[in-house]
């Protein structure tokens, strides 16, 4: 079975044999265009599908069925229409993508929220030439074992567009966050910048936002906002202008929409009876808001935990549709695996592995610009270089799914000085200096460096808080508000990272490394050895680790 993810963006492909997912990839990693966006004459999934098929040495003719969500573009549906294409509702597919990660017997509240999902109804009002549609914005499910039950949801209303023009609906926290992001001067996809900026501000615009937003008390009316009557955009721009239009006014607006999202997520969780679930599971594009996730993790009732899928965005439909397909056609348990391993946490790294020959070929292609350092061939050797103050691009095994670098395609560095944070943001990644950098930490050391326990996470999707020791000894990975987007590394994850962190701890006393995505500004995270080499030369890193071999940039004469 071949699962396809994406709608107008965040395309992906995943290949499964029986109950075992073999490989998955986001389209952007192949096309090198962020969010996998494509032009009208392109198939946005061509590269991702080809990647998966080649990884298993098969062709499309060997695929029995293709599955996706019902927001798969018509162009893509037409391309794959001869392969038993099955489509599932958008939010159900999101819900399935996190449900599949649960252990057997676990009861879960499954919550989905994003910009907008499937069209659920349409109407033509008398005297109006424009059809109107209702679309999913918040959906509530309950899950146990192989059963995923819909409890209810809030819908937004918008126009049915007949041309390639941006569309929107009411009652969407995702679209409100995007609107604020644009008012702040960022691109619509740059919601992560808004989240980072929020840490520098105070929610002084929250009363203004609440003039337009109503939080309800049922599944059907949990979040109400009308973007089309009243000038919400104008009011937000006026708030920034009254504050002088500078950094602090923008930070305060960012903090305000973030506080509203935090409050909304907590309110949604309170609609569930805590006696009916063990795990609160979140999917949908808003699930990547790590600040809100951290707040919810702290506020869930005692004994309840939070699970957020690393593929929370539309890339996750490749997985969710596969699970729904097995539910429909399979027999027995639906405990899917990734190359034989439990999905949680293995699903965070579903990319293919590159052979030694492929890596050597990529290195030889730039000869003599890379110089091999034979003294470093292990995680222990790499730890020594990091402890010496180097910022190093790491290409390690399989690549990640989702936007978070989890040690497969990461830039790693020593977290013990603020200067390292400034160097990476300003000079290596060319990012805004207000943006935070993330830590990875050994699981056994988490509580000494971060709190609370509820924010432990394999996928870097919950904001924790640095302890006094962390603030003192690893300041590069703590945001201005004390938060840290932590990746916990244990024996169930990557042995390479465990060895690396343990050796770095032995050398420095600090079991934490600074971890940010291995990419240039405006580009997706690297995927191939050639991508890694190309980015290494551009970023000015101190070294490049390619699956057991360490390289330095070599100056050459013209």
Backbone angles phi, psi at 109, to 5 degrees: -90, 120
Neighbour tally for 463: CB within 10 Å:
28
CB of 217 within 8 A of CB of 227?
Answer: no
pLDDT at 558 over 70: no
Find the range with the poorest average confidence among 103-107, 348-352, 526-530.
103-107
Find the range with the poorest average confidence among 57-71, 117-131, 485-499.
117-131
pLDDT for 167: 87
CA distance 184 to 186: 6
Residue 443 DSSP one-character state: G
Tens digits of residue pLDDT in 227-253: 998 899 999 999 999 999 999 999 999
Neighbour tally for 309: CB within 10 Å:
31
The dihedral through the CA atoms of 387, 389, 391, 393 has a sign that is negative
Mean pLDDT of 20-37: 97
Tens digits of residue pLDDT in 127-156: 888 899 999 999 999 999 889 999 999 999
Which token pair is 95? Answer: 């819900």
Model's pTM, two decimal places?
A: 0.96
Average pLDDT, the chain: 96
Neighbour tally for 371: CB within 10 Å:
11
CA distance 76 to 67: 12
Q: Could you tell me which of 21, 25, 59, 62 has the C-alpha nearest to residue 44?
A: 25
Q: Which residues pair with 132 in a beta bridge?
A: 123, 159
DSSP letters, 338-403, are ETTEEHHHHTT--SPPPPHHHHHHHHHTTTTSEEE-TT--SHHHHHHHHHTT--EEEE-SSPPSSS
pLDDT for 82: 85
Q: Which residues pair with 460 in a beta bridge?
A: none
Longest dimension (CA), the chain: 77
CB of 449 within 8 A of CB of 477?
Answer: no
Tens digits of residue pLDDT in 84-140: 999 999 999 999 999 999 998 999 999 999 999 999 999 988 888 889 999 999 999
Consecutive H or E run containing 197: helix 191-198
pLDDT for 83: 87
Give alpha helix (H) positions in 211-340.
Answer: 232-242, 247-270, 290-299, 317-329
Residue 472 DSSP one-character state: H
Mean pLDDT of 536-543: 97
Tens digits of residue pLDDT in 190-211: 999 999 999 999 999 999 999 9
Mean pLDDT of 402-412: 97
Residues of the chain above pLDDT 70, percent: 99
pLDDT for 243: 96
pLDDT at 333 over 70: no
- pLDDT-based confidence at 525, cuts 50/70/90? very high
Neighbour tally for 259: CB within 10 Å:
21
CA distance 49 to 278: 36
- Residues 147-168 as b or e (16 or more Cβ within 10 Å = b): ebeeeebbbbbbeeeeeeeeeb
Mean pLDDT of 46-60: 98
CA distance 106 to 120: 30
- pLDDT-based confidence at 329, cuts 50/70/90? confident
CB of 197 within 8 A of CB of 250?
Answer: yes
Which token pair is 376? Answer: 């470093």
Tens digits of residue pLDDT in 426-473: 999 999 999 999 999 999 999 999 999 999 999 999 999 999 999 999
């Amino acid at each position: 079975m071949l699962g396809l993810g994406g709608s107008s963006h965040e395309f992906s492909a995943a290949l499964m044999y029986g109950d075992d997912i073999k490989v998955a990839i986001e389209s952007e990693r192949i096309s090198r265009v962020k969010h996998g966006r494509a032009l009208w004459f392109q198939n946005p999934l061509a590269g991702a599908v080809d990647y998966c098929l080649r990884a298993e040495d098969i062709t499309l003719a060997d695929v029995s069925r293709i599955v996706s969500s019902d927001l798969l573009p018509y162009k893509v549906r037409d391309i794959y229409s001869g392969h038993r294409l099955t489509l599932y509702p958008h939010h159900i597919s999101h819900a399935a993508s996190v449900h599949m990660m649960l252990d057997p017997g676990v009861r879960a509240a499954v919550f989905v929220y994003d910009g907008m999902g499937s069209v659920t109804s349409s109407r033509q009002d008398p005297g109006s030439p424009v059809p109107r549609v209702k679309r999913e914005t918040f959906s509530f499910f309950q899950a146990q074992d192989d059963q995923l039950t819909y409890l209810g949801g809030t819908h937004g209303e918008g126009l049915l567009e007949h041309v390639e023009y941006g569309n929107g609906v009411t009652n969407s926290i995702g679209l409100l966050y995007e609107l604020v992001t644009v008012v702040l001067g960022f691109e619509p996809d740059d919601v992560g910048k808004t989240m980072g900026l929020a840490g520098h501000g105070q929610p002084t615009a929250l009363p203004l936002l609440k003039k337009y937003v109503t939080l309800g008390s049922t599944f059907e009316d949990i979040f109400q906002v009308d973007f089309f009557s009243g000038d919400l955009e104008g009011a937000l721009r006026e708030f920034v202008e009254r504050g002088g239009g500078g950094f602090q006014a923008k930070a305060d607006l960012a903090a305000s929409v973030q506080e509203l999202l935090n409050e909304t997520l907590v309110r949604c969780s309170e609609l569930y009876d805590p006696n009916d679930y063990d795990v609160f599971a979140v999917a949908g594009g808003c699930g990547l808001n790590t600040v809100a996730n951290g707040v919810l993790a702290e506020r869930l009732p005692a004994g309840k935990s939070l699970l957020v899928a690393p593929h929370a965005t539309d890339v996750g439909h490749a997985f969710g549709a596969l699970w729904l397909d097995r539910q429909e056609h399979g027999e027995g348990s639906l405990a899917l695996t990734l190359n034989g391993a439990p999905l949680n946490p293995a699903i965070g790294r579903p990319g293919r592995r590159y052979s030694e020959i492929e890596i050597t070929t990529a290195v030889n292609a730039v000869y003599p610009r890379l110089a091999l350092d034979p003294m470093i061939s292990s995680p222990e050797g790499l730890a020594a270089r990091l402890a010496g103050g180097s910022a190093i691009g790491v290409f390690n095994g399989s690549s990640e799914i989702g936007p978070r670098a989890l040690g497969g395609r990461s830039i790693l560095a020593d977290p013990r000085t603020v200067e390292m944070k400034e160097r990476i943001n300003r000079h290596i990644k060319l990012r805004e200096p207000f943006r935070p950098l993330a830590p990875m930490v050994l699981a056994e050391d988490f509580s000494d460096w971060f709190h609370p326990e509820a924010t432990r996470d394999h996928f870097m999707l919950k904001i924790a808080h640095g302890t006094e020791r962390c603030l003192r000894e690893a300041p590069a990975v703590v945001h201005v508000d004390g938060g840290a987007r932590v990746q916990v590394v244990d024996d169930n994850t990557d042995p390479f990272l465990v060895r690396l962190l343990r050796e770095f701890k032995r050398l420095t006393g600090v079991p934490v490394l600074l971890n940010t995505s291995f990419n240039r500004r405006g580009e997706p995270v690297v995927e191939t050895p050639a991508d890694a080499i190309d980015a290494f030369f551009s970023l000015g890193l101190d070294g490049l680790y390619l699956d057991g071999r360490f390289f330095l940039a070599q100056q050459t004469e013209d």
